[in-house]
């Protein structure tokens, strides 16, 4: 048997920013800091760990990038909810996904109107440009934290009563599934940087990495809707299941 003497092995010291991160993560994992609890500011971390502001800033930035924390502009940094999980190859109501995590769903309808389809929208819905369609923009919240912007165009001929619905009481997904049952769906998933307006609505810093799902749904031969669903990258993940 060969033995190796490690007594003189050089052990690289742990960087201070990593120690700050680990201290915060431990408080989250032990439950001392719960979701939506405010964490110490950069200034408070500087005093607590006797470190530079740059070190504290790096620790907080990396924890946000890794999904442990989220930031509200002008307010501070907070413990994130455990990442929501959305099915990649299935289409569910976001309200049902949130309820399955024993959390509370709410939403804010920013737009619900009739518009004339431009060339891009017409192509996505398989109709002629200039045709009247319906446009809705809705922000979805999980325990009052914004987790999705839903930007949807709907084929007015397939769903004529769309504008008369109260989407604070019923999600667009649930309504469309009821009046135009889904027979086919299409997903395109992209990583994008959130624009200024979207980041403001999601209460995240400008240019924060986001997850964009472009989704089209069919009911028999009709394309019913084309939606772009934008999630803060650190608050959501996708899951797919395969079998043969």
Residues 134-173: tens digit of each pLDDT: 999 999 999 998 999 999 999 999 999 999 999 999 999 9
DSSP 13: P
- Give the distance, in angstroms, between the CA of residue 88 and the centroid of all CA atoms in the same chain: 14
Half-sphere exposure of 39 toward its Cβ, with a 13 Å CA cutoff? 31
Using CA atoms, how far apart are residues 200 and 74, in angstroms rounded to an integer? 12
User: Which residue ranges in the chain fall short of pLDDT 50?
Assistant: 1-12, 85-89, 241-244
Of the candidates 136, 178, 182, the residue with the CA atom closest to the CA atom of residue 156: 136
pTM value surpassing 0.75: no
């Amino acid at each position: 048997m060969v033995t190796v003497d490690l007594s003189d092995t050089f052990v690289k010291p742990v960087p201070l920013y990593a120690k700050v991160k680990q201290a915060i993560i431990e408080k989250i994992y032990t439950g001392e800091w719960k979701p939506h609890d405010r964490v110490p500011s950069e200034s408070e971390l500087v005093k607590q760990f006797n470190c530079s502001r740059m070190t504290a800033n790096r620790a907080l930035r990396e924890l946000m990038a890794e999904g442990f924390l989220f930031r509200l502009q002008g307010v501070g940094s907070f413990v994130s909810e455990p990442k929501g999980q959305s099915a990649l190859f299935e289409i569910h109501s976001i309200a049902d996904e949130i309820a399955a995590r024993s959390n509370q769903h709410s939403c804010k309808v920013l737009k619900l109107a009739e518009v004339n389809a431009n060339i891009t929208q017409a192509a996505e819905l398989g109709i002629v440009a200039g045709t009247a369609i319906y446009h809705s923009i809705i922000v979805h919240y999980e325990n009052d934290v914004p987790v999705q912007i839903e930007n949807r165009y709907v084929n007015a001929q397939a769903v004529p009563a769309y504008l008369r619905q109260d989407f604070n009481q019923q999600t667009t997904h649930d309504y469309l599934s009821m009046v135009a049952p889904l027979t086919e769906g299409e997903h395109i998933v992209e990583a994008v940087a959130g624009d200024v307006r979207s980041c403001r609505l999601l209460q995240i810093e400008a240019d924060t990495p986001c997850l964009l799902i472009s989704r089209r749904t069919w009911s028999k031969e009709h394309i019913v809707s084309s939606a772009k669903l934008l999630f803060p990258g650190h608050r959501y993940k996708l899951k797919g299941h395969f079998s043969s």
